[in-house]
């Protein structure tokens, strides 16, 4: 399609949505209005848009579409589409590994450097593969130090993990990091051994210099709140304690918790895994910078962006979204800061989506924010632009399919139709946005967001809207 024609088509779409937003607001569909009334969510607390994906006709529904609202995790739609558009679906992150010294008889006579560059998916299995690659170079002992380089992101100052919602142990509150290992969390497995009246506890990953009890006593009674029964104490970052017991009735259980000292997590995790694999370090695990001019021994590559955004959108992974947001700043503005990323996203929005609507307010790109804002009209425009873009299949496949997977696995359409929608939930904010297939064969963009103290109760109304959008024949 010629560039001038694409620009003309985009201008027509934007003008159509803008005129619809400026005209008298339409009445909400009866079933949607009734669901809001049952949930005691005021009509003035919601914004809703249903419009054809190709933008050739006026919207079927435009309700308060100009109101800027907190989209919660729906903001991940903007971050992931912008990344696809700017970086390409095949983009991948690399983690360079440097060997500074000679290798003789399995000993590196020098330091080993691991430089993080923002890989959002450096989970334990992939860290293990990276360390196996190091061993494949003939290194089993590092006589010097293993140095962790986190300098690619300037946003490395750890905040209070409980500041957002008072849940410091939840892995979703992990902060971004140039070397983000396993989302800075520890997975604990509790397996009852009735013979010994203990539960065996295993930890992934093992953390260097952290005492981790291998067992905890079994206690009688119902499973119930088994985490509270353990009476855990994570206050000492050098030791995990359980002052209670594990209910025998629970069977095997897993519990993932955020580590209490996120700044040192990568060093401890890599050090613990290296030791578990038989590796040795003569010096210490420390943070530092890879020497300038030293060429990497190898570069460990991430999965492609198209795969990464499936994890971000289908399971609403906050820290992965923030890694991607910072990567946009790093690649487009050569700075791994939130400020650079906001500037890059703002420029991209003006050039790609246009200035017909108020520009979104970006903070960290994940929706885990009280300050991010976007209007239904603006998000609808972006979804229509995305629908016509070459990366539409990758974006579409990253969204939860209603009744099939991700955050929408347990929500189905009464009409039997299909929809790919990103969900968003915070205190005082909830919604869905994405694409709905109509019975007529048309495809629609749909945005539905509620803000207010009872926003979470609007879910039934959102489902009713998706049903209404699909029943267009």
CB 388 within 8 A of CB 1: no
pLDDT mean across residues, the chain? 91
| Dihedral angle sign, alpha carbons of residues 356, 361, 362, 367 | negative
Phi, psi (rounded to 5 degrees) for 375: -95, 160
More confident residue, 415 or 422: 422
Residue 308 CA to residue 311 CA, distance in Å, equals 5
Domains for the chain: give ranges and CATH numbers.
Answer: 3-90+305-470 (3.40.710.10), 93-302 (3.50.80.20)
Rounded-to-10 torsion of CA 82, 72, 66, 452: 180
Q: Which of 42-74 are b and which e, b meaning 16 or more Cβ less than 10 Å from the residue's Cβ? A: ebebbbbbbbbbebeeebbbbbbbbbbbbbbbb
Rounded-to-10 torsion of CA 75, 80, 86, 89: -170
Residue 189: the pLDDT is 98
Q: Is residue 1's pLDDT more than 70?
A: no
Residue 46: the pLDDT is 98
| DSSP characters over 313-368 | HHTT-HHHHHHHHHHHHHHHHS--SHHHHHHHHHHHIIIII-SSSPPPB-SSSSS-
Q: Residue 164: which pLDDT band, with cuts at 50, 70 and 90?
A: low
Residue 40 CA to residue 90 CA, distance in Å, equals 45
Interval 128-138: pLDDT, tens: 999 999 999 99
Interval 41-64: pLDDT, tens: 999 999 999 999 999 999 999 999
Residue 366 CA to residue 15 CA, distance in Å, equals 29
Phi, psi (rounded to 5 degrees) for 47: -130, 135
Average pLDDT over residues 397-405: 93
Q: What share of the chain is helix, strand, coil (3-state, %, to 5)?
A: 35, 25, 40
Q: Is residue 270's pLDDT more than 50?
A: yes
Q: Percentage of the chain surpassing pLDDT 90?
A: 84
Query: How many other C-beta atoms lie within 10 A of the C-beta of residue 105?
Result: 7
Average pLDDT over residues 53-78: 96
Q: Is residue 325's pLDDT more than 50?
A: yes
Q: Residue 403: which pLDDT band, with cuts at 50, 70 and 90?
A: confident
Model pTM score? 0.91
Query: How many other C-beta atoms lie within 10 A of the C-beta of residue 34?
Result: 14
Q: Residue 18: which pLDDT band, with cuts at 50, 70 and 90?
A: very low
């Amino acid at each position: 399609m010629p560039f001038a024609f694409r620009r003309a088509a985009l201008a027509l779409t934007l003008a159509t949505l803008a005129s619809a937003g400026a005209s008298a607001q339409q009445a909400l569909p009866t079933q949607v209005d009734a669901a809001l009334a049952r949930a005691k969510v005021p009509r003035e607390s919601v914004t809703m848009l249903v419009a054809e994906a190709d933008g050739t006709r006026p919207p079927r529904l435009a309700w308060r579409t100009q109101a800027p609202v907190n989209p919660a995790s729906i903001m991940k739609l903007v971050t992931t589409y912008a990344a696809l558009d700017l970086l390409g679906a095949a983009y991948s992150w690399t983690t360079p590994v440097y060997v500074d010294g000679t290798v003789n008889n399995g000993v590196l006579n020098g330091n080993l450097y691991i430089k993080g560059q923002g890989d959002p998916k450096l989970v334990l299995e992939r860290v293990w593969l990276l360390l196996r690659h190091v061993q494949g170079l003939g290194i089993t002992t590092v006589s010097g130090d293993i140095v962790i380089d986190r300098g690619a992101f300037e946003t490395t100052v750890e905040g209070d993990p409980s500041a957002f919602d008072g849940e410091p142990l939840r892995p979703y509150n992990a902060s971004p990091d140039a070397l983000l290992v396993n989302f800075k969390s520890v997975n604990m497995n509790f397996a009852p051994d009735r013979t010994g009246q203990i539960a065996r506890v295993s930890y992934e990953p093992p953390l260097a210099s952290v005492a981790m009890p291998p067992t905890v006593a079994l206690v009688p009674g119902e499973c119930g709140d088994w985490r509270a029964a353990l009476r855990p104490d994570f206050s000492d970052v050098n030791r995990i304690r359980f002052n209670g017991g594990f209910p025998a009735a629970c069977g095997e259980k897993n519990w993932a918790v955020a580590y209490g000292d996120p700044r040192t997590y990568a060093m401890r995790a890599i050090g613990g895994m290296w030791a578990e694999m038989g590796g040795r370090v003569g010096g210490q695990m420390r943070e530092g910078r890879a020497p300038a001019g030293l060429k990497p021994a190898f570069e460990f590559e991430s999965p492609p962006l198209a795969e990464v955004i499936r994890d971000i959108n289908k399971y609403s992974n906050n820290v992965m979204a923030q890694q991607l947001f910072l990567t946009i700043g790093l690649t487009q503005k050569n700075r791994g800061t939130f400020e650079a990323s906001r500037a890059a996203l703002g420029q991209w929005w003006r050039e790609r989506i246009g200035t017909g609507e108020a520009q979104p307010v970006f903070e960290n790109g994940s929706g885990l924010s009280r300050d991010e804002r976007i209007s239904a009209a603006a998000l609808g425009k972006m979804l229509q632009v995305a629908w016509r873009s070459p990366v539409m299949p990758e974006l579409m496949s990253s969204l939860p399919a209603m009744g099939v997977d991700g955050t929408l696995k347990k929500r189905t359409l009464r009409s039997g139709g299909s929809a790919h929608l990103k969900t968003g939930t915070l205190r005082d904010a909830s919604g869905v946005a994405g694409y709905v297939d109509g019975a007529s064969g048309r495809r629609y963009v749909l945005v539905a967001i509620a803000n207010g103290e009872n926003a979470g109760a609007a879910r039934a109304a959102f489902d009713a809207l998706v049903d209404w959008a699909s029943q267009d024949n």
